[in-house]
Amino acid sequence: MPHGNYYESTRKVELQTQSLDGDLKVDVAIVGGGITGCSAALHLTERGYKVALLEAESIGWGASGRNGGQALPGFAASQMKVKPLVGPAHARDLWTMSMEALDLLHSQIQRLNIPCDPVHGYLHAAVKPRHVRELHEMQAELAELGYPQTSLLRGSDLQARLPSPRYLAALTDPVAGHIHPLNYTLGLGRAAQEAGAQLYSQTAVSLVEPGKIIKLHTKRGIVSADFALLSGGAYLGDLMRPIAGYIMPVGTYIIATEQRPDIDQLIPQNEAVADLNFVLDYFRRSADDRMLFGGRVSYSTLPPPGLGASMLARARRVFPQLHDAKIEYLWGGNVDITRNRAPHFGRVAANILFTQGFSGHGVALTGLAGKLAAEAISGQAERFDLIARIPHASFPGGRSLRVPALLLATSWFRLRDIM
């Protein structure tokens, strides 16, 4: 039987936390101990604020410690889709901020000495002819944005970089890459704690009571704060009903093979790779020579039947060389998607901020989200508001009808994947 989360088994950062026991008064309370929450705690504490972070499970337990580790610029919504939402000038500003997010990620890794195996390099892979056209469009758009040089690989050049029979072409990306996301999250949390932030695990928030002084109720204490940041993502649930309907929790899954001596032959330059399908495959080498292969989604958030076997079959379709591969780890978790796949930032009240809806594209952007929230709480809200101005619509039908409505809406895209 496969083990659970590979990242938990290879964590290198020790972080000691405890549950809240008693009432507490702070300047800022943060709900959610993922990358956003830990980043915000660090930036706020470095600005002199007294901060308490409240996490229902353990730090990094949610999407931040379970994802594919791919660190990318932009949003899950392509730049072409963002432009009609906000206009060309605003869209370019948002792109610039997403590039800043990548710079911040790597600068924090270096500054805080976080052992999370950062690697530069990414391949956008085409499965079918229309994907090749999309790669040409992507390359032109990146050039217009002043992005570093990309190359479109085909034929022998593609096979040298990605020896798979599945792909027709791939676009290189020298800026994007991959990390060990749980170690990164824990590293941010450790730095926040060392700077003076109070991090509480196993401390679920059951009620947020708005007011000039916000009261966050937990099982064993109430936290009173001047400001609050809600960054629980897909695991926030209905804690704050006015924003709950704008995101949908979606399950996504990853396998890790056994360590393999041939792994460097499958992705010789150690890039992260993802195809352009709506329900995509994404994969990369781990630092200890495994294939980490992600894909499949569940809109009910329940794991699909036969998950391990189907995931391994997908990996072998990409790399027949894995015919004898064995799964040593199999895990999954929920990401929070929005209808337009752009991040959803804003305020429930003047002193209650939220960040959510990274739509599976948050490894880099969540770190910047924490920094922007810290800026906004400090009275410099212009950059936070730049993202908050992206228009959003809630999922129709409320909680009971959200899943069937989304399944209906995505059925066409799934059909296109197999056409």
- Let me know: does 61 contact 334? Beta carbons within 8 Å: no
Query: Can you tell me the distance from the alpha carbon of 48 to that of 320, in angstroms, rounded to the nearest whole number?
Result: 55
Query: Can you tell me the distance from the alpha carbon of 212 to that of 349, in angstroms, rounded to the nearest whole number?
Result: 10
Both tokens of 120, joined, read 């530069």
Query: Can you tell me the distance from the alpha carbon of 354 to that of 225, in angstroms, rounded to the nearest whole number?
Result: 15
413: in domain: no
b/e per residue 181-203 (b: at least 16 CB within 10 A): bbbbbbbbbbbbbeeebbbbbbb
b/e per residue 314-324 (b: at least 16 CB within 10 A): bbeebbebbee
Query: Can you tell me the distance from the alpha carbon of 223 to that of 287, in angstroms, rounded to the nearest whole number?
Result: 40
- Let me know: does 265 contact 66? Beta carbons within 8 Å: no
> What SS3 string covers 5-73?
CHHHHCCCCCCCCECCCCCEEEEEEEECCCHHHHHHHHHHHHCCCCEEEECCCCCCCCHHHCCCCEECC
Q: What percent of the chain has pLDDT over 90?
A: 89
| pTM confidence score | 0.95
Total residue count of the chain as it appears in this document = 419
Checking DSSP bridges between strand 205-209 and strand 198-200, what pairing results, if any? unpaired
245: in domain: yes
Residue range(s) defining the domain that contains residue 221: 6-408
pLDDT of 116 higher than 70: yes
Residues 244-267 have pLDDT tens digits of 999 999 999 999 999 999 999 999
State the average pLDDT over residues 288-304: 86
Both tokens of 127, joined, read 């499965």
Residues whose CB is less than 8 angstroms from the CB of residue 15 and which lie 6 or more positions away in sequence, other chains included:
59, 186, 189, 190, 193, 199
419: in domain: no
H or E stretch at 209: strand 205-209
Residues 6-35 have pLDDT tens digits of 999 999 999 999 999 999 999 999 999 999
pLDDT band at 239 (very low <50, low <70, confident <90, very high): very high
State the distance between the two ends of the chain, measured CA to CA, in whole angstroms. Answer: 34
Number of domains the chain contains: 1
Domain with residue 90: its CATH number is: 3.50.50.60
State the average pLDDT over residues 387-407: 73
- Let me know: does 73 contact 96? Beta carbons within 8 Å: no
Query: Can you tell me the distance from the alpha carbon of 323 to that of 315, in angstroms, rounded to the nearest whole number?
Result: 9
What pLDDT score does 412 carry? 38
Query: Can you tell me the distance from the alpha carbon of 376 to that of 91, in angstroms, rounded to the nearest whole number?
Result: 20
Query: Can you tell me the distance from the alpha carbon of 74 to that of 101, in angstroms, rounded to the nearest whole number?
Result: 9
Both tokens of 159, joined, read 């096979």
Residues 189-234 have pLDDT tens digits of 999 999 999 999 999 999 999 999 999 999 999 999 999 999 999 9
Q: What is the DSSP letter of 163?
A: -
Query: Can you tell me the distance from the alpha carbon of 394 to that of 203, in angstroms, rounded to the nearest whole number?
Result: 28
- Let me know: does 116 contact 179? Beta carbons within 8 Å: yes
Query: Can you tell me the distance from the alpha carbon of 76 to that of 362, in angstroms, rounded to the nearest whole number?
Result: 9
Nearest CA-CA partner of 335 in 255, 233, 240: 233
DSSP for 352-377 reads: EEEEE--TT--TTHHHHHHHHHHHHH
Query: Can you tell me the distance from the alpha carbon of 122 to that of 119, in angstroms, rounded to the nearest whole number?
Result: 9
Q: Hey, how many other C-beta atoms are within 10 angstroms of the C-beta on 249?
A: 21
Query: Can you tell me the distance from the alpha carbon of 10 to that of 381, in angstroms, rounded to the nearest whole number?
Result: 38
What pLDDT score does 408 carry? 45
Question: Phi, psi (5° rounding) for residue 352?
Answer: -125, 110
Query: Can you tell me the distance from the alpha carbon of 227 to that of 81, in angstroms, rounded to the nearest whole number?
Result: 33
- Let me know: does 357 contact 338? Beta carbons within 8 Å: yes
Q: What percent of the chain has pLDDT over 70?
A: 94
pLDDT band at 3 (very low <50, low <70, confident <90, very high): confident
161: in domain: yes
Q: Across the strands, what pairs with 388?
A: none
Summary mean pLDDT of the chain? 93
